[in-house]
Chains A and B, each alone.
Chain A
Amino acid sequence: MAGRQRPRRLDRNIAYFDEPPERRPPITEVGPVAWVRANLFGSALDMALTLLGALFLIGMISFLLTWSIGTANWYSITFNLRLFLVGRVEPFMDPRITFLFLFIAVLAGVNFAAWSRIHLRLWAILAAVLLALFIIPWLIAGAIPLPLTWLAAGQREVTSGSITASPVERVAFIAGADEEIVFRLVTPADDAELARLNSFSDGMSNTLRNAAANRLASEQRLVTVERELAGDSLTGRQRAAREAELENTAVPPPVHTSYEVGAYPVSLILRSGDTDAEIFNGTIAPGAEMRLTLPRDGWYVLEKRVPDNDDSIALLSASGLYPVFDRSFIREGERVFQYMRATDRLLVEGGRPRDAGGADLPMLGIIDHQYRGERPLADFLSLMLGPFLDQLNLGLALFTAVMAAAYFASRWLERRDSDQEVPLRRLRRAAVWLWLVTIPLAFLLIIGVSSGPFLTLSDPQLWGGLLLTLVLTVVALVVAFPIGILLALGRRSTLPVVSAASTLYIEVFRGVPLITLLFMSMLLVQFVLPSLSGPDNAPYRVMVALILFSAAYLAEDVRGGLQSLPTGQVEAARALGLPGWRITLHITLPQALRAVIPALVGQFISLFKDTSLVTIVGLIDLTGVANLIASQTEFQGLRRETYIFIAIIYFIFSSVMSNVSRRIEASGSGAARA
């Protein structure tokens, strides 16, 4: 490398430098190891924080993973996905909502093309992910068999602690045509095997399992206590306590022998659920297996007995026999009962089998036949992940495909005549216009226009789930935003009446909690706008409250932006002879709004989340759906799963919004400010 240039001396007082040679910057790029060392282990404190953070992160993730794979029951999500997304809207809304969904995909595609670039590599990754969403469920279904269902037979009760389970001889279930059911009579070798029976199980086999597990636990405890007593690490008092414990604990005899589990053959009778006609009648010997093929879709009744011994409990594993969700609703004036198999959504309507007295037979309902015990990964995949992805993949794939089509089409059109002075100007105009079209279109599709067959009016009372959340957010935003701007301008007006009125409005609505406003609007709006009375207009009344509330906050955000402008801007505009309203329209507002984009988006996000408060006045938005599901007996104890799911949905939407705002801030003239 050439050395630094020495100044060339002309005489004693002046020197000058030759043109220096081109030099490349020194190489400062470093590998990941150096990065980690510099950024994560720079100092002792840094190191401690890094380790602490890593420990915390690993702990959290492993806890969440083990919980969601091993313990959590995600049925409440897969079974209710439609409720989460659109609530109880009428079936005729489905094509309209689908169309709107795809239109938004077009909007997204055009906007991406206009404002940012999506790298081809990213498209490839997206495509791969979507493909995986189709392949993974298919692979899971092909490779991993569904878990078994455990059924007990016998004439005696089974006790574990204070729980006693009575025998159920006849149980009803639903199945499809040509399905094969495989029964096996299990003879467990010891209690440990019995305690490991994870899966769907009826009350009796579950109690049997618990009894075995409890017995093993107390056996283990006694061993521990004896070991402690043999050592000399205990204080006198502890020793006394241990001795008392030893005295009081009695280990029951082994469960599998005391109930003679699986020692005697079981007689099975399979009947048609409708006609009670016998389809099959046979006996399974211990350890033997029996295969039955079913003739048609519908209800079946299984009779199981241990004919040879009244004290023995038989444990049957069954594949092809799974618990169901049941629900009922009014359709055209009549109550309809639906039963849906938990594992594959096989649906049977009505016709539930009854006994001779006319009472409903016990059935394999999800309430009594939940999955019990620690769930292995295979069961998580086949029961939870596969079906969930199967429900999502088509919608996501359609959305992405339409978005990609719109993206590449608009880029192609843009490139075809690229002789514009300002690149992308036309495409950007088109993108803005598309936004202006989308919002009225959305309202048209969701609300409807006529009572006839074309765009039939939908019942607002039935809007729910994510749909209602988004409708409330978008309406509140679109209407509140201009009002907020007017209020902000009004508050800065030189006319005392206007500024006092605006200030009063803003202060009043910022001073009242949203919940109070929601209650007030439910009761008061109808006095001002009688057309909004009645329960079916509740969403509209709530919108009024949300609009009034967010207008006040948006006004303060916009006012902040207006105040941050240097006075020179207005002076320059006035010196050019622009009238006041044009100064506002062309000079102050555009700059003020751009300056407060982060605050505005923050307001949008908090409005989006605040819509969850409408649950309190009886609307069933996303949070409302979660509450509704958590209160159903079928999904008892599944609150955590339900709320985690809606938290994820809220998070996804909020992070998309803040991401978009970061892009807006970084793009275009906003970045090129003086």
Chain B
Amino acid sequence: MASADSQPMSQGTTISQMDEEPIIICRDMNKWFGEFHVLRDINVSVAPQEVVVIIGPSGSGKSTLIRCINRLEEHQEGQILVDGMELGHDVRNIAAIRREIGMVFQQFNLFPHLTAIQNITLAPIRVRHRPRAEVEDDAMQLLERVGIPEQAHKYPGQLSGGQQQRVAIARALAMEPKIMLFDEPTSALDPEMIKEVLDVMKELALSGMTMLVVTHEMGFAREVADRVLFMDEGRIVEQGEPEHFFERAQHPRTKLFLSQIL
């Protein structure tokens, strides 16, 4: 990573912080919503166990970028490779890639008609076809890991926002993904609940999970991220290690953004 030469990233350069084979590669990716060019020539690589935080103003394409990676949105040009598999129209590839990737949403998107533990066990039982008893044991462990084992048999409507988001994280983890995508996981939470979710995410990052996190929590980015991407108008404008990024950002757009939120 060319952190020393302090130039804004030029488009078209593939970057990877570590020497290992990247687990996610986006090459010259483009996407339009109708006429609106939402992602422009995105080139990103993410190494295994790397934690990448994506920041930027709203409408800059952050969410769309990570939603393209598990095919909730379809990219129209370029290439996305996840764990060596190309994300294209091949349905089997899409299914295989989705099994590798867990996702956490801003609005939690828990299934309201299922209890917390049913939310967690549904996919392992129905997709991985694992025995129910075993899956339920694992689900209880996950609930302990996110700190709410006592809420296992409650419905989402009976849980606080922070608890719901932690169940959502446990639900994603239950599929034993290699990569976790977080789409503004704390934006819908009361300030008092943000910390409990961020703590779970920190613990997850320390355990070596590959994570792509769209967030406005600069403290989290500073503390946990290996790399910070700044996006604006569908482009990756600047990226770098957090201490470099927050202290010595180069691009005027980045500087303006940081000056307004810090």
Q: Which A residues contact B (CB, under 8 angstroms)?
A: 421-422, 566, 568-569, 571-579, 582, 586-587, 590-591, 594, 669-670, 672-674
Instruction: Report the minimum CB–CB distance from A422 to chain B (whole Å).
Output: 6
Q: B111, A572: Cβ atoms under 8 Å?
A: yes
Tell me if B72 is interfacial: C-beta within 8 Å of chain A.
yes
Please name all residues of chain B whose beta carbon is closer than 8 Å to the beta carbon of A421 when the two chains form the complex: 153
Report Cα–Cα, A566/B108, bound state, in Å: 12
Among all A-B residue pairs, the 5 with the closest Cβ atoms: A572-B109, A672-B155, A568-B109, A576-B123, A575-B103
Please name all residues of chain A whose beta carbon is closer than 8 Å to the beta carbon of B71 when the two chains form the complex: 574
Please name all residues of chain B whose beta carbon is closer than 8 Å to the beta carbon of A573 when the two chains form the complex: 111
Tell me the interface secondary structure of chain A in the complex.
helix
Q: A576, B113: Cβ atoms under 8 Å?
A: no
Tell me if B79 is interfacial: C-beta within 8 Å of chain A.
no
Having A575-B70, A669-B114, A673-B113, one finds 18 other A-B pairs with CB under 8 Å, namely A421-B153, A566-B109, A568-B105, A572-B109, A575-B98, A576-B122, A576-B172, A577-B98, A577-B99, A577-B123, A578-B122, A582-B126, A586-B111, A594-B113, A669-B113, A672-B112, A674-B110, A674-B156
Please name all residues of chain B whose beta carbon is closer than 8 Å to the beta carbon of A566 when the two chains form the complex: 107, 109
Count chain A CB atoms within 10 A of each CB in B72, B101, B111 and give the residue with the most.
Answer: B111
Q: A586, B126: Cβ atoms under 8 Å?
A: yes
Please name all residues of chain B whose beta carbon is closer than 8 Å to the beta carbon of A670 when the two chains form the complex: 113
Interface positions, chain B 157-181, Cβ under 8 Å from A, are: 157-158, 164, 168, 171-172, 175
CB < 8 Å neighbour of B157 from A577, A594, A672? A672
CB < 8 Å neighbour of A571 from B109, B112, B155? B109
For A421, give the chain B residue with the smallest CB separation.
B153
Q: A586-B122, A591-B112, A673-B112 are in contact. Are A574 and B155 (CB under 8 A)?
A: no
Count chain B CB atoms within 10 A of each CB in A421, A572, A577, A587 and give the residue with the most.
Answer: A577
Count chain B CB atoms within 10 A of each CB in A572, A576, A669 and give the residue with the most.
Answer: A576
Q: A576-B122, A577-B98 are in contact. Are A591 and B113 (CB under 8 A)?
A: yes
Tell me if B206 is interfacial: C-beta within 8 Å of chain A.
no
CB < 8 Å neighbour of A577 from B115, B154, B175? B175
Please name all residues of chain B whose beta carbon is closer than 8 Å to the beta carbon of A672 when the two chains form the complex: 112, 154-158
CB within 8 Å: A-B pair count: 82
Q: A576, B127: Cβ atoms under 8 Å?
A: yes
Q: A577-B127, A669-B155 are in contact. Are A590 and B113 (CB under 8 A)?
A: yes
Count chain A CB atoms within 10 A of each CB in B71, B109, B156 and give the residue with the most.
Answer: B109
Tell me if B2 is interfacial: C-beta within 8 Å of chain A.
no
Instruction: Report the minimum CB–CB distance from B70 to chain A (whole Å).
Output: 6
Please name all residues of chain B whose beta carbon is closer than 8 Å to the beta carbon of A572 when the two chains form the complex: 103, 105, 109-111, 168
Tell me if B95 is interfacial: C-beta within 8 Å of chain A.
yes
Q: B98, A673: Cβ atoms under 8 Å?
A: no
Interface pairs (24), CB distance under 8 Å? A566-B107, A569-B111, A571-B105, A571-B109, A572-B111, A574-B71, A576-B102, A577-B95, A577-B123, A577-B175, A582-B126, A586-B111, A586-B122, A586-B126, A587-B111, A590-B113, A591-B111, A670-B113, A672-B112, A672-B155, A672-B156, A673-B112, A674-B112, A674-B157
Report Cα–Cα, A573/B122, bound state, in Å: 10
Q: A673, B157: Cβ atoms under 8 Å?
A: yes
Report Cα–Cα, A591/B123, bound state, in Å: 17
Interface positions, chain B 84-129, Cβ under 8 Å from A, are: 95, 98-99, 101-103, 105, 107-115, 122-123, 126-127
How would residues 137 to 164 of chain B score, 1 for a CB under 8 Å from any chain A CB and 0 otherwise? 0000000000000000111111000001
Q: A674, B164: Cβ atoms under 8 Å?
A: yes
CB < 8 Å neighbour of B72 from A575, A587, A590? A575
Q: B98, A574: Cβ atoms under 8 Å?
A: yes
Please name all residues of chain A whose beta carbon is closer than 8 Å to the beta carbon of B156 when the two chains form the complex: 672, 674
Q: A669, B105: Cβ atoms under 8 Å?
A: no
What is the number of residues of chain B that contact chain A, defined by CB distance less than 8 Å? 34
Instruction: Report the minimum CB–CB distance from A518 to chain B (whole Å).
Output: 38
Report Cα–Cα, A566/B154, bound state, in Å: 21
Instruction: Report the minimum CB–CB distance from B156 to chain A (whole Å).
Output: 5
CB < 8 Å neighbour of A569 from B101, B109, B153? B109
Count chain B CB atoms within 10 A of each CB in A572, A574, A591 and give the residue with the most.
Answer: A572
Q: A669, B112: Cβ atoms under 8 Å?
A: yes
Instruction: Report the minimum CB–CB distance from B139 to chain A (whole Å).
Output: 13
For B110, give the chain A residue with the smallest CB separation.
A674
Report Cα–Cα, A163/B163, bound state, in Å: 88
Please name all residues of chain A whose beta carbon is closer than 8 Å to the beta carbon of B112 when the two chains form the complex: 591, 669, 672-674
Report Cα–Cα, A421/B110, bound state, in Å: 22
Instruction: Report the minimum CB–CB distance from A441 to chain B (whole Å).
Output: 29
CB < 8 Å neighbour of A578 from B108, B123, B155? B123
Report Cα–Cα, A570/B12, bound state, in Å: 34
Report Cα–Cα, A587/B119, bound state, in Å: 10
Please name all residues of chain A whose beta carbon is closer than 8 Å to the beta carbon of B168 when the two chains form the complex: 572
Q: A578, B127: Cβ atoms under 8 Å?
A: yes
Report Cα–Cα, A575/B172, bound state, in Å: 8
Q: A586-B126, A674-B156 are in contact. Are A575 and B111 (CB under 8 A)?
A: no
Instruction: Report the minimum CB–CB distance from B212 to chain A (whole Å).
Output: 13
Report Cα–Cα, A442/B181, bound state, in Å: 53
Please name all residues of chain B whose beta carbon is closer than 8 Å to the beta carbon of A590 when the two chains form the complex: 113
Please name all residues of chain A whose beta carbon is closer than 8 Å to the beta carbon of B102 when the two chains form the complex: 575-576
Instruction: Report the minimum CB–CB distance from B16 to chain A (whole Å).
Output: 25
Report Cα–Cα, A578/B121, bound state, in Å: 12
Report Cα–Cα, A582/B111, bound state, in Å: 13
Interface positions, chain B 66-80, Cβ under 8 Å from A, are: 70-72
Please name all residues of chain A whose beta carbon is closer than 8 Å to the beta carbon of B172 when the two chains form the complex: 575-576
Report Cα–Cα, A582/B164, bound state, in Å: 23
Instruction: Report the minimum CB–CB distance from A539 to chain B (whole Å).
Output: 38
Report Cα–Cα, A591/B109, bound state, in Å: 13
Q: A421-B153, A672-B158, A674-B156 are in contact. Are A578 and B126 (CB under 8 A)?
A: yes
Instruction: Report the minimum CB–CB distance from A569 to chain B (whole Å).
Output: 6
Please name all residues of chain A whose beta carbon is closer than 8 Å to the beta carbon of B70 when the two chains form the complex: 575
Report Cα–Cα, A340/B74, bound state, in Å: 80
Please name all residues of chain A whose beta carbon is closer than 8 Å to the beta carbon of B164 when the two chains form the complex: 674
Count chain A CB atoms within 10 A of each CB in B112, B156, B172 and give the residue with the most.
Answer: B112
Report Cα–Cα, A591/B110, bound state, in Å: 12
Please name all residues of chain B whose beta carbon is closer than 8 Å to the beta carbon of A574 when the two chains form the complex: 71-72, 98
Instruction: Report the minimum CB–CB distance from A596 to chain B (whole Å).
Output: 13
Please name all residues of chain B whose beta carbon is closer than 8 Å to the beta carbon of A594 when the two chains form the complex: 113
Please name all residues of chain A whose beta carbon is closer than 8 Å to the beta carbon of B107 when the two chains form the complex: 566, 568
Report Cα–Cα, A568/B109, bound state, in Å: 6
Please name all residues of chain B whose beta carbon is closer than 8 Å to the beta carbon of A577 when the two chains form the complex: 95, 98-99, 123, 127, 175
For A577, give the chain B residue with the smallest CB separation.
B98
Q: A576-B98, A591-B112 are in contact. Are A422 and B122 (CB under 8 A)?
A: no
Instruction: Report the minimum CB–CB distance from B193 to chain A (whole Å).
Output: 15
Please name all residues of chain A whose beta carbon is closer than 8 Å to the beta carbon of B109 when the two chains form the complex: 566, 568-569, 571-572
Report Cα–Cα, A578/B175, bound state, in Å: 11
Count chain A CB atoms within 10 A of each CB in B72, B107, B113, B127 and give the residue with the most.
Answer: B113
Please name all residues of chain A whose beta carbon is closer than 8 Å to the beta carbon of B126 when the two chains form the complex: 578, 582, 586
For B128, give the chain A residue with the smallest CB separation.
A577
Please name all residues of chain B whose beta carbon is closer than 8 Å to the beta carbon of A575 when the two chains form the complex: 70, 72, 98, 101-103, 172
Report Cα–Cα, A571/B98, bound state, in Å: 11
Report Cα–Cα, A575/B168, bound state, in Å: 12
Report Cα–Cα, A669/B153, bound state, in Å: 11
Q: A576, B153: Cβ atoms under 8 Å?
A: no
